Chains A and B, each alone.
Chain A
Amino acid sequence: METEFTPFASLLGGGLIGLSAVVLLAAHGRIAGISGIVSRILPPSVDKAGLPQGIIFLIGLLLAAPLWFVLTGSAPVQMVSSNGLLLIIAGLLVGFGSVMGNGCTSGHGVCGISRGSARSIAATVTFMATAFVTVFVLRHVVGG
């Protein structure tokens, strides 16, 4: 299904994401990597010192959509597949892969690249490549 090309909203939204990362680094000296923030508060090794800040950040993240609704009067536009099995597999791979690879789109893709980290650049090139191939297979080989 086609989606509208939104260069200005996307650039501005990206800018807000970047600003959030700068706020987090300036205030707490931490990298805004969502997979890291989430996984650090999960077992088996819960980061007790970072637990309150991690939870507060996630509360902020969860408040964004309700705030959007209050301010704009409409829910954010979303088209989510209702194929439960596919999304369970996708979720498992995203969770496992982001922790094993020490980062996701935010930690490696935005923060790591901005810091010139060679590890993050390698990770970003790798996950972009497998994601492109996966969508190609999903839509043009399997889905036809």
Chain B
Amino acid sequence: MHVFSTLFAGLLFGTGLILSGMANPAKVQNFLDLFGTWDPSLAFVMGGAIMVTMPGFWLVQKRMTPLYHDVFHLPTRTDFDARLVVGAATFGIGWGLGGFCPGPVLTSLPLAASGTLFFVPAMLVGMVIAKYTAAPLPKTPAV
């Protein structure tokens, strides 16, 4: 069952990206093009997602533990550091340039557009480089 739930979650996520138009980089870039061919659709994607996650997360977290796991793995950091801001800024530049972020580009992989086939390996390399350059984080005790 736990395998099925993960597979189902991936399938739902990808289907949502396709249905919403986020898997089309032209639509993403048009959302970001306020002074050109602006397409506000993406605001509705984010709105639709948050309308489900906000009450959904709240309901789920009223439980003590997840269904198939001992604990919730939620981010606990609340500090602001340069890595957060510089990383997000860098991500945004790449997102604007290509119109792709990680979920949509992986969902698009089976469609095999040549641009996607360039983007995905480069993205994986970028991730590995960032992991190598990351300062070792202090071990936090498992809660």
Contacts and interface: CB of A to CB of B under 8 A. Distances in A.
- Whether A and B are associated in the same complex: the answer reads yes
Interface of A: 1-7, 9-32, 34-35, 38-39, 42-45, 53, 56-68, 75-84, 86-106, 108-115, 117-119, 122-124, 126-136, 138-140
Contact of B115 (A81, A100, A123): A81
A86 B98 contact: yes
Contact of B8 (A60, A104, A131): A60
Most buried by A among B14, B111, B132: B14
Contact of B66 (A26, A76, A126): A26
A128 to B, nearest CB: 7
Contacts of A3: 21, 24, 26-27, 30, 37, 39, 41
Per DSSP, are chain A's interface residues mostly helix, strand or loop, or mixed?
helix
Contact of B114 (A28, A82, A89, A112): A82
Interface of B: 2-3, 5-27, 29-30, 32-37, 39-42, 44-54, 56-57, 60-61, 63, 65-69, 71-75, 77-80, 83-103, 105-111, 113-116, 118-134
Given A65-B110, A90-B97, A99 B15 contact: no
A28 B124 CA distance: 25
B87 to A, nearest CB: 2
B73 A81 contact: no
A132 B35 CA distance: 10
B96 A130 contact: yes
A132 B47 CA distance: 19
B75 A58 contact: no
B91 A93 contact: yes
Across the A-B interface, give the 9 residue pairs with the lowest CB-CB distance, nearest first. A60-B10, A101-B87, A13-B20, A64-B14, A14-B48, A95-B126, A93-B94, A18-B52, A134-B96
B7 A90 contact: no
B72 to A, nearest CB: 4
Contacts of A105: 95, 101-103
Nearest to A99: B130
Given A35-B127, A42-B127, A81-B25, A20 B16 contact: yes
Contacts of A104: 91, 101-103
Contacts of B99: 80-81
Contacts of A102: 75, 83-84, 87
A126 B91 CA distance: 9
A121 B68 CA distance: 29
Given A21-B56, A26-B67, A44-B128, A76 B24 contact: yes
